[in-house]
Amino acid sequence: MPTLQELDLTGKRVFIRVDFNVPLAPGGQQITSDKRIRASLPTIQYALEKGAGLVLASHLGRPKGKRNPEMSLQPVAVRLAELLGRPVAMAPDCVGPEVEAMLPKPGEVLLLENLRFHPEEEKNDPGFSQQLARLCDVYINDAFGSAHRAHASTEGMVAFVPVAAPGLLMEQELRYLSMVTQNPARPALAILGGAKVSDKIEVIENLLKIMDQLLIGGAMAYTFLKAQGRPVGKSLVEEDKLELARSLMAAAGPKLLLPEDHVVAPELKEGVASAVVTVIPDDQMGLDIGPATRARYAEVIAGAKTIVWNGPMGVFEKPPFDQGTVAVAQAVAASGATSVVGGGDSEKAVKAAGVTAKISHVSTGGGASLEFLAGLELPGVAALRKR
């Protein structure tokens, strides 16, 4: 698989599959976070500096194969032009004669309309893939967040283009995720949180083979604790996953650490009275890891050389149940370990704790990161490797 820097882009028309699936305010006209657009800038700017004309393509939302003006990429074209300091032309569609008539010259940028306005995109239709491939001389995939989808723009069209390579963001994601899952510096540690064991079964199974320890937090911890026969009160539990939790704990042995104290409340609402307990009463629910667990986890984290973290330790979005997650973020930042944080709530936690700069890599791909950590092959990456 060639790198972007190994390609000759001068005078070439370069198709870059980006992840511009940005959050929009109701009505679809106002971008509420341009983080994903900014993440793609290094690849876009590099290709422009090398004398390429750029065709940028992305999905936005779930229009289900129909044109929906509230999911148009038009606001993205406006914001991207501001960030690049140069015009960004907006195509009326992503394939067809009108688009082909607008193809960019060197130094120009064309943003295609939402790929998912066509049902053929998600169906990975070969005819649609060929139409997209006709738009370029070189294909670059920089959309790690969509690499776990076998769609026309992420996988199908790669077979029909002359040259294909990953973008700079994709390269960085693969480098860090590979670093922590293949021969990590030891001790290697995974921290897993979130609501459900079922969301992370494959991740837990795979990381148990790789990591020296797994620290469990979030609501998923209560499924494990109940499987051990401990009282969990009204805490969120996946009753149908208790047997699975037992088998995972049996396979993990002392590798798997569970919370030893909890921040509880009778219900989850603003201003509710909370308490710290080691045994959860029947009328209370566990909503965060307690101070003893935070201290124990921080001690283990301090000794690690490699850390993977995905998922919060409690109901992070509702103080005071954010303290466990913030404490873990601070411990990871202070550890000096090579650290990879999976997106979503974990990313918000490192930001809230003010330690983003001390994390080695914050992943941009939620589902894609999880599948990679589960040891699954990502179709968008596999297609590039086959070239």
Measured CA to CA, the distance from residue 71 to residue 27 in angstroms comes to: 9
Measured CA to CA, the distance from residue 216 to residue 8 in angstroms comes to: 47
127 flagged as catalytic? no
Measured CA to CA, the distance from residue 153 to residue 18 in angstroms comes to: 10
Cβ atoms within 10 Å, residue 88: 21
Measured CA to CA, the distance from residue 276 to residue 288 in angstroms comes to: 9
SS3 of 83, please?
helix
Measured CA to CA, the distance from residue 187 to residue 303 in angstroms comes to: 7
For residue 177, which of 144, 150, 153, 146 has the smallest C-alpha distance? 144
For residue 327, which of 352, 357, 359, 364 has the smallest C-alpha distance? 352
* Ranges of H-type helices in the chain: 35-49, 74-84, 97-100, 119-123, 126-133, 168-181, 201-210, 220-227, 242-252, 291-302, 323-335, 345-352, 366-373, 379-386
For residue 248, which of 278, 228, 219 has the smallest C-alpha distance? 228
For residue 177, which of 197, 215, 139, 206 has the smallest C-alpha distance? 206
Which of 28, 61, 366, 367 is catalytic? The answer is 367
Which of 167, 324, 342, 344 is catalytic? The answer is 344
For residue 193, which of 239, 130, 257, 253 has the smallest C-alpha distance? 257
Q: How many residues does the chain have?
A: 387
Which of 12, 17, 36, 116 is catalytic? The answer is 36
367 flagged as catalytic? yes
Which of 196, 246, 305, 358 is catalytic? The answer is 196
Catalytic residue set: 36, 196, 344, 367
